[in-house]
Structure 1
C-alpha cells in the first residue's frame, strides 16, 4: 500500500458490513460496526508500519565472525542463512543459570514449531540461547519439537553484540540480510519495559506470539497476571 493509494474511509467500509447474528440488539450492532472501522484502521496502520520497516536504510554490516554450536556441529552466522537472503534469529531465555527454559519464550517457540516449513519458504529461522547445545537439544526433545533449529551461543559474543551488552538472560528478535555476499543487521525488536504504557505488560507490536492475539479477541483479554507455564 503506497502513500499515493486513495483509500475508502474505514467508516464507509464498515458501513458495508452485512454481518449479523441471532438476537443481537441495535446497540450491539452499532458498537460492533464502530469497532470494525477501528479494526480496519488497525490493519492499515500495521501495513504502514511494515512498509516503513521494509524501507529502512541499510543496517550495520556484520564484520565479526560469530560462531555457534548447532545440533550437527559448529556453524557461523553466515551458515545460518543456508540458501536464503534473510535470516531471523530468536534469542530465547535459557542461559546456563536457568534450570529450565523461560515459559514465555517456550510458548512463543511452540507456536512457531508447526510453521517452520512455511517460514523457511521465505527466510531462514534459527533459535539461539546461551546454554550448551546439549541442554538446548534436551529441552527441545522434551517439548517434542522436531522442526525448530536450536543453536548455542556458547561464548556469548553474538548475545553481547545483538541481545544484551551485559550478557543478560533476555529475549531478542533480530533480522539479518545477506546481499551480494554482505551480511547486515536489518531490524531488531527495540521496545523495552520503559516504553510500556501505564498498566501494560511490556511487549512488542505486533506481538509475535499468536497466543496474545487470540486472547485479545475475548472478553477476558490477556489479563494482567496470567502467563503461560511449561507444565499444567
Structure 2
C-alpha cells in the first residue's frame, strides 16, 4: 500500500479528473469537484479504517460448543468454517415469535444472495436465525433465494452471547466475524453500533453500512427517506 504521506492531495486528484457532462454550468462543475475531493478523502478514510480493523489483536476465544441446525442436520460452529480461516455469521431477525421475517434483513439478504458464491471463494458465510430450519428454508424458497446458507440457532445460546437478542428477548440483527487458527476459534469483529452510538436524527447503523439499498439511495438527490423502510411486498406500483 502506498504511504499516505506521499499521496497527492484529494483536491489535486479532483482537478486531474477532468470529467464534465453535457450542458453543466461552471457552478455545478466547481461544486462537483469540491464534492469529488471529499469523496476521495472518504475513500481514503475507509481504507484507513479497514487497515486498522485488519490489525486488531486476537479477539475473545470461543469456548462454548455452539451447534446449529442446517438443511442436512445438526452442525457445530467449526463446520460452518467449511475449511476457510474466516467465518462471517449474520443473525437474521426471524425468530419464532415473528409471523414474518424482518423486511430490512430480508432486503439486505436478497441483495447478498447472488454474491454468496463469490464471497465463499474467500471466506465462509452463514446466516443464522432462531426459527426452525424448516421455516427458514420455506421462506428461502418463497423469496427465490438460490445460495443463502441458512441455519437455525437451536438453543438461542449463540444469538444471546453475540448480541442478536435484545434485552426484552426480541430479535436483533447482528454481524459477527470469527477466525480460526491452530484449531482455536476467536471472535474478530462486530460493528458495535447501535442507539448509543447514533448521531441525532440518524438511524443507528454501522460503518460500513451493509445495505446496498441505502448505498444506492445515498447517491440520489432525495437521499435516504427519513421515515421509509423496505417491505416484504409492495401492493402498489413503485
Query: Does the pair score TM above 0.5?
Result: yes
For 2:195, which of 182, 193, 213 is the aligned residue? 193
Q: Determine the C-alpha separation between the residues in 2 that align with 1:14 and 1:59.
A: 39
> What does residue 225 of structure 1 align with?
227
3-state SS in 2 of match to 1:16: helix
> What does residue 55 of structure 2 align with?
55
For 2:181, which of 179, 182, 185 is the aligned residue? 179
TM-score by length of 2: 0.95
In the comparison of the two structures, how many residue pairs are matched?
Answer: 232
Shift of residue 189 of structure 1? 1.4
Pairwise CA RMSD? 1.2
> What does residue 132 of structure 2 align with?
132
TM-score by length of 1: 0.97
Shift of residue 21 of structure 1? 0.8
Structure 1 residues 53-62 or 202-211, which shifts more? 202-211
Structure 2 unaligned blocks of 5 or more: none
Shift of residue 3 of structure 1? 5.6
Q: Determine the C-alpha separation between the residues in 2 that align with 1:130 and 1:5.
A: 48
Shift of residue 4 of structure 1? 5.7
3-state SS in 2 of match to 1:118: helix
> What does residue 152 of structure 1 align with?
152
- Please list, as runs of the form range in 1=range in 2, the aligned pairs for 1:7-156 lying within 5 A after superposition: 7-156=7-156
For 1:215, which of 217, 224, 227 is the aligned residue? 217
- List, as ranges, runs of 4+ consecutive aligned residues in structure 1 with deviation greater than 6 Å: none
1:16-73, Cα deviation, whole Å (9 max, x unpaired)? 1211011111000000000000000000000000000000000001111100000110
